[in-house]
Every structure is written in structure tokens, then in C-alpha cells.
Amino acid sequence: MADVIASDIQARALFIEPDVLLLDEPTNHLDLHAVLWLEEYLQGWGKSLVVVSHARSFLNSVCTDMLHFYDGTITRYKGDYDTFETTRSDQLKQQGRASERVEAQRAHMQARRRACAALRAPHMHVRECSSVCACRAGLCRQEPGQR
């Protein structure tokens, strides 16, 4: 009986056409024909629609934009759920590659700093040490100590 009352309330919410329609798992407890009808009905919905669902095919059929809530921010993605997943995956891969590049650069700079510290005489300034290291590595045109 409670399911019938809930379904009746949901059906009435669709037909009063609110400015914003919030649907939380709208396909739960619906048979295939009801889900197909709901998809078709919502595809023609002219107002704002917010859907929370685990039904991927339903999201792909109904949604045109995705909002991703993560770490206190909201990011908007154009397209259906599959497009969102592909775009988000690509972004994460790019962030990972950028992070790896930064980490490699940091490791290179630390190794260079350690090498320079090992070569530096106690009275030599860091700037002079850098030029000495660069010259010994063949990266400069002048001899150490020349300006």
C-alpha cells in the first residue's frame, strides 16, 4: 500500500510541472514499461531536472549535463553519463601525468642540489656552485670561476 501511495505522489509531481523537479532513484520499483515511459516523458521536460540514479542507461537517456560534486566543488560536464565518465577519466589521467612530471623535475633538482653540495668548496657560494656543476656537466660555455 505504501508503494502505491508513493507512486501516486510521484506521478502527481510530474503533472503539476514544477520549475525544478528533483528525482531520487526514480527507476526503483518501476517495471520496464514504466521506466521507458518515464525516460520519454523526461526527455521532453522543458524545465530543470535533478536526478540521482544508479541506472546508467536511464541517465544516458535523460540527462544532458552532469554536475560532479567533489572536494567541496561542483564541476559541470556537458553530455550524458558516458561522456562525463570519459571526460573525467581523461582529466584524471592528465592530472596524474602532470603530477609525475612535477615529481620527476623535483627529484632532478634535488639530485642536482646534492651533487652541487658535494662538489662545493666551503667558501663557494651556491650561485658559483651551480655554474661549476653546469660546466662540469657540459651545460655552459665558460670555465668555472669565469664570468
Tell me: the pLDDT tens digits for 96-132? 999 999 888 888 888 777 776 666 555 555 555 555 5
CB 62 within 8 A of CB 39: yes
Residues 6+ apart with CB under 8 A from 105: none
Higher per-residue confidence, 41 vs 137 = 41
Cell of 56: 546508467
Query: Considering the chain, what percentage of its residues have pLDDT values greater than 70?
Result: 71
d(CA 28, CA 35): 9
Q: What is the pLDDT of residue 39?
A: 93
